[in-house]
Amino acid sequence: MRGSWHLIYLMVDISHMVIRLTQRRYLLFLYFLRPCHTD
C-alpha cells in the first residue's frame, strides 16, 4: 500500500511539473505570436 501511495504522489508531482512547463511554453508561444497577428 505504501509503495502504491508513493507512486501516486510521484505521478502527481510529475504531472504538475509537466503542466507548469507546458503552460510557460504556451504563454511564450502566444506572446511571440501576438505581434504577428496585430495589423
For 8, 9, 10, 24, 31, the CA distances from 4, given in Å and listed in that order, are 6, 9, 10, 30, 40
Cell numbers given for 4: 502504491
Cell numbers given for 21: 512547463
pLDDT digits (tens, 9 = 90+) for 10-28: 999 999 999 999 999 988 8
pLDDT, residue 39, reads: 54
Residue appearing with cell numbers 501516486: 8
More confident call, 33 vs 9: 9
Is the pTM value of this prediction over 0.85? Answer: no
